C-alpha cells in the first residue's frame, strides 16, 4: 500500500483543487496534532489521572469532565500562536477566545467540541473531537457575530474518533477522507478516500428511552421501523445508540444508517440537545459530502442562520432516503396541523 500522509494529502488537494491555502493547511495540521495529544491522554485513562469529573459546569449547565477541560486547553494552546486564526469558540467556553495580541491574527475561525460523548469517557467507550472552520469576513476586529454564519459557509470540518483505532475524518468541501493514526510513526495515514454513505439503510440510531417525549413524526418513523418486515416498510431494522455522536456518525459514514437527536418534550423551550456550531454543522457538512443528508426535520442543517454561539438544534442525518423520509413526515404533520 502506498502510504499517503495527511500533509501530502493536503498539499495534493491544494495543487489539484486550490481549496487548501497555506493558513488552512496549517490549521488542519495543528488541529490534527492536538487530537494526537488528546488521544494520548484518553488512552492513558486512570494511569494519567484524567478520568472523572472536574467539579465544574460549562455555560450550558453541564458538568465538565477532567478530559473535557484538558482537551479544550490542548486545542487552544495548539492553535493560538500559528497566525492562522482570528478567534476560536468551544462548547466548553462561555464566549469566543481571541488570539492574544502577541501573535498575528489569521483569516479563520475555529469552532469545536473538544471531547464529544462525555458520558462515555469513564466507561472506556469511543469518544471524539469535532471541529468546524469558517472564514472571517474581511473587516477589522473579531466578535461573536463573525461566527454566526450558516454551516454552508464552512471551509473545512471533521472529527477525530478515539476508539479501537484513532481516526481523523476530514472534508474541505471535496468529499470525505479518513486517516488512521499510526502510533509507532506518530503520523496520520490516509486509509480511505471518497467515502460514500449508502442512500438506503436498515439501521437507525436514537435514544429510545426518550420515546414518550418525542414529536409525532419521529414516533411515526420509528414505529414503522420497529414494525419490521410485517410493517409498512417491509423490512427489518437494526438499532445502535452509542451516545457519542462521533462514534454514531463514524458508523454511518462507514456503512450507512440514520442518526436522530430530535427535539422532545422534556425541555420544550430547547430546540434540541445537540449544538449547531460544534456538532450539527460539522457533521452535516461531512455527511452531505459523503452523499448523505442532514436536516432539523424541516430544513437543511447547513442553511440554518445561527442567532447565538451555543445554539441548539434538532438533528436528523445519514442515509439520504431515510433522512428525506423523516423530513417528509415532519412537513406532512405541519401541513395537517395547518388545515
Ligand atoms: P456532549 O457534547 O456533552 O458529550 O453531549 C453530546 C452527546 C452526543 O455525542 C450524543 O449523541 C448525545 O450527547 C447522547 O445523549 P444521551 O446521553 O441523551 O443519549
Ligand atoms: Mg458534544
DSSP collapsed to 3 states, 146-188: HHCCCHHHCCEEEEEEECCCEEEEEECCCCEEEEEEECCCCEE
CB atoms within 10 A of CB 198: 17
CA of 248 to the centre of ligand 2 (A): 12
Cell of 329: 413526515
Pocket test for ligand 1, best of 244, 282, 310 (most atoms within 8 A of CB): 244
CB atoms within 10 A of CB 134: 25
Cβ < 5 A residues, ion ligand 2? 113, 116
How far is 143 from 96, CA to CA, in rounded Å?
A: 8
Query: Against a cut of 0.95, is the pTM above it?
Result: yes
Phi/psi region, residue 179 (left: phi>0; alpha: psi -120 to 50; beta: rest), is: beta
Tell me which residues have their CB closer than 6 angstroms to ligand 1: 62, 91, 113, 116-119, 207, 243-245, 261
CA of 244 to the centre of ligand 1 (A): 6
Cell of 25: 493547511
Atom of ligand 1 nearest to the CA of 247: 9
- Helix, strand, or coil (residue 275): strand
Pocket test for ligand 1, best of 69, 92, 118 (most atoms within 8 A of CB): 118
CA of 207 to the centre of ligand 1 (A): 10
pLDDT in tens, the chain (339 residues): 789 999 999 999 999 999 999 999 999 999 999 999 999 999 999 998 888 888 788 777 777 888 999 999 999 999 999 999 999 999 999 999 999 999 999 999 999 999 999 899 999 999 999 999 999 999 989 999 999 999 999 999 999 999 999 999 999 999 999 999 999 999 999 999 999 999 999 999 999 999 999 999 999 999 999 999 999 999 999 999 999 999 999 999 999 999 999 999 999 999 999 999 999 999 999 999 999 999 999 999 999 999 999 999 999 999 999 999 999 999 999 988 888
Burial of 37 (0-12, 13-18, 19+ CB in 10 A): middle
For residues 233 and 198, the answer to whether their CB atoms sit within 8 Å is: no
* Strand arrangement of the beta sheet that strand 203-205 belongs to: 238-239, 203-205, 258-261, 315-318, 293-295
Amino acid at each position: 500500500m502506498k502510504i499517503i500522509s495527511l500533509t501530502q494529502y493536503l498539499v495534493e488537494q491544494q495543487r489539484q483543487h486550490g481549496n487548501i491555502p497555506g493558513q488552512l493547511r496549517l490549521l488542519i495540521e495543528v488541529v490534527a496534532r492536538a487530537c494526537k495529544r488528546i488521544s494520548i491522554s484518553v488512552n492513558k485513562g486512570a494511569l494519567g489521572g484524567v478520568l472523572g469529573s472536574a467539579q465544574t459546569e460549562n455555560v450550558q449547565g453541564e458538568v465538565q469532565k477532567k478530559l473535557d477541560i484538558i482537551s479544550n486547553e490542548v486545542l487552544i494552546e495548539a492553535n493560538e500562536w500559528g497566525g492562522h486564526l482570528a478567534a476560536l469558540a468551544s462548547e466548553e467556553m462561555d464566549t469566543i477566545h481571541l488570539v492574544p495580541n502577541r501573535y498575528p491574527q489569521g483569516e479563520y475561525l475555529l469552532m469545536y467540541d473538544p471531547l464529544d460523548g462525555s458520558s462515555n469517557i469513564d466507561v472506556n467507550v469511543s469518544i471524539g473531537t469535532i471541529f468546524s472552520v469558517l472564514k472571517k469576513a474581511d473587516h477589522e476586529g473579531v466578535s461573536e457575530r463573525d461566527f454566526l454564519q450558516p454551516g454552508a459557509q464552512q471551509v473545512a470540518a471533521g472529527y477525530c474518533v478515539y476508539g479501537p483505532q484513532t481516526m481523523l475524518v476530514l472534508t474541505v468541501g471535496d468529499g470525505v477522507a479518513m486517516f488512521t493514526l499510526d502510533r509507532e510513526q506518530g503520523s496520520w495515514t490516509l486509509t480511505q478516500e471518497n467515502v460514500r454513505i449508502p442512500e438506503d439503510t436498515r439501521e437507525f440510531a436514537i435514544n429510545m428511552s426518550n420515546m414518550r417525549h418525542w414529536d409525532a413524526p419521529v414516533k411515526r418513523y420509528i414505529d414503522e421501523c420497529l414494525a419490521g418486515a410485517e410493517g409498512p416498510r417491509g423490512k427489518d431494522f437494526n438499532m445502535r445508540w452509542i451516545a457519542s455522536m462521533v462514534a454514531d456518525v463514524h458508523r454511518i459514514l462507514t456503512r450507512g444508517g440514520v442518526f436522530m437527536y430530535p427535539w422532545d418534550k422534556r425541555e420544550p423551550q430547547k430546540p434540541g440537545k445537540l449544538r449547531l456550531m460544534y456538532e450539527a454543522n460539522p457533521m452535516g457538512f461531512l455527511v452531505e459530502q459523503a452523499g448523505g443528508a442532514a436536516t432539523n426535520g424541516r430544513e437543511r442543517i447547513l442553511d440554518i442562520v445561527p442567532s447565538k454561539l451555543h445554539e441548539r438544534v434538532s438533528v436528523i442525518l445519514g442515509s439520504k432516503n431515510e433522512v428525506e423520509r423523516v423530513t417528509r413526515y415532519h412537513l406532512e404533520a405541519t401541513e395537517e396541523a395547518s388545515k
